[in-house]
Amino acid sequence: MFVFVCAGCGARLTTQLSEVALPVHAHQKYGNGTQLPVLMESGTFAVDPEPWGPPWRPWSEIDPDEASARGIYAPLHALSDSAPGAIVIAPGDVRGTLLILERSGGYCCGLDGADGPNMTCEACGLPVASRIDDCSLWQAVWLAPNAVRRCPVDGADAVPLSWEELMTEGSRKSSTPPFEPLTRWGERMGPHPWWSWSPQWEAAAGQALAHLLAASEGRPVTVPDGLTREVLQRALDALLPAGPPARRAVLAGPECPAVGADADIVLVPTHPRTGKTWTPADPAGPAASAYPVPLPFGVWLWLAFPEPYPPVLASGAIPDDVLRDDPPVPRPRHAFRADPEVFRHTLARLPAVRSPWLREILQNLTQHMRAGIF
């Protein structure tokens, strides 16, 4: 466990926190005017290893060698020149800070952090963090890495759960439903939620789709039937040629059936705390030689062990011995679309994007979005 303190005066700025993996959707911008919830679970923090936020430099000013050194192999709109290692926490876990009114950029519906740190240490006035709560952005506080220090708290830290422990019945509550009710800020008649594909799923699919294209080697790719197919196959069919023999992708991970020798690609979970990708116990088995495509644990869990339908929001608790008879949750009206910016962010950082056909997909991403693929 850790607390974060001001690098200027040592004042305490957070509650006790434990480190978890950075969510795939951490920098996601979703829809227009959508009211997104808090990004991080209370009591946790995550670190972004890459620079993010102002100041930004346009791609035309970036030397190709500099981009490659930063692990970026295809053109992007711009690159951040901020310090790497920003720490994201839930807004309710902040202590001893004040807003900087002169840096309160955003205000479509809230703050977006575009003007740089907008929170100061209450004790000494040093800018230490950015509060984000504008529409279509995940609510969070990003601590500036050069303005805070991480201090360990006395006492043993919790050991990350093993994959076997994550798969217990209690831990399966961490699965992420594929669709959920969303609302918009500023509705004149009050909040009116509508059922939509989960923003977390769209971000996870954007990341997975980039890896699937890199693993395809320019050949068609097939994924398992059911929800996995509904989420990924339409985009794969649109972006890959139909002629050559297809490469087969399967779900793999703890408690999954053994991977067959004909599997070329495996869709595997990432640990929610460490961020490490699941690896098979047998280093010589088919799963070990297949290309691993990472999925957030909550999304992977739903794909590998689907529930009949997402739980309906209800008040109170239902006893364990009571069977639910709720009607099925309304499904979204539109086909699933992966998040285009998460896809762009991921694919640009895979060395395979140097291939001309993958580079062309990135260059034509806007056209693919207009066609409804993303």
In the numeric block, the tokens 């062990």 are attached to 305
**pLDDT for position 96:** 96
Say if residues 296 and 176 touch (Cβ distance below 8 Å).
yes
6 pLDDT exceeds 90? yes
The average pLDDT across 10-19 equals 96
H/E stretch holding 239 reads helix 227-239
Under the banding of pLDDT at 50, 70 and 90, the label for residue 307 is confident
190 pLDDT exceeds 70? no
Instruction: Decide: helix, strand or coil at residue 322.
Output: coil
Distance CA 136, CA 87 (A): 20
Structure tokens at 21: 């993996």
Of 224 and 115, which is predicted with more confidence? 224
318 pLDDT exceeds 80? no
**pLDDT for position 69:** 94
pTM: 0.90
Across-strand partners of 250? 266
Under the banding of pLDDT at 50, 70 and 90, the label for residue 156 is low
Summarised one tens digit per residue, pLDDT across range 163-188 is 999 998 656 677 899 998 888 876 65
Order of strands across the sheet with 194-197?
Answer: 34-35, 179-184, 194-197
309 pLDDT exceeds 60? no
pLDDT, averaged across the chain: 90
**pLDDT for position 217:** 93
> Residue 128's CB: how many other CB atoms inside 10 A?
28
Structure tokens at 373: 């693929």
Distance CA 264, CA 111 (A): 45
The average pLDDT across 38-57 equals 95
Q: Label the pairing between strands 247-251 and 265-270.
A: parallel
Say if residues 116 and 130 touch (Cβ distance below 8 Å).
yes
**pLDDT for position 243:** 82
Residue burial 343-355, b: 16+ Cβ < 10 Å; e: rest = bbbbbbbbebbee
Summarised one tens digit per residue, pLDDT across range 93-140 is 999 999 998 877 666 778 888 888 999 999 999 999 999 999 999 999
